[in-house]
Amino acid sequence: MYELKIISQFAGAHRLRGIQGGCENLHGHNWKIEVCITGGRLGKDGLLIDFREIKGETKTILEALDHKFLNELEPFRSMEPSSENIARHIFESLSQRLNTRAVRISRVTAWESDSACATYWDDKEIEGQTN
């Protein structure tokens, strides 16, 4: 198996409703986003997938979040714009754009600071590979 990783970033504001503490107040982060892609076979060009394609699709998704109040955006109107849900949103969006029979988004990590992050991956994908 091969794994590729790209790192991108975006800045955004949010507030987390229903929790105790300062995060209920409007605040922002400079999120660092790690996208990992796996696959077992390289193409004739010696690549799993071109990094430009991964970066381009990730950029498109992050542009919709960059310098925005995340609570006002779909899908965060109905779910909290936590790092966990941001990672899941990016994972699901990239999966729709990039997953093929040969390549899968394996996980997305959203770093909200240098010392705190959340990672999302599809448990069904992993279960299907190990059984």
Instruction: Show me where the domains of the chain are located.
Output: 2-130
- pTM confidence score: 0.91
Write the DSSP string, 45-110: TS-SS-HHHHHHHHHHHHHTTTTEEGGGSTTTTTS---HHHHHHHHHHHHHHHH--SS-EEEEEEE
- CATH T-level fold of 2-130: Tetrahydropterin Synthase; Chain A (3.30.479)
Between 108 and 130, name the one with better pLDDT.
108
pLDDT tens digits along 31-75? 999 999 999 999 999 999 999 999 999 999 999 999 999 999 998
The pLDDT value given to residue 128:
39
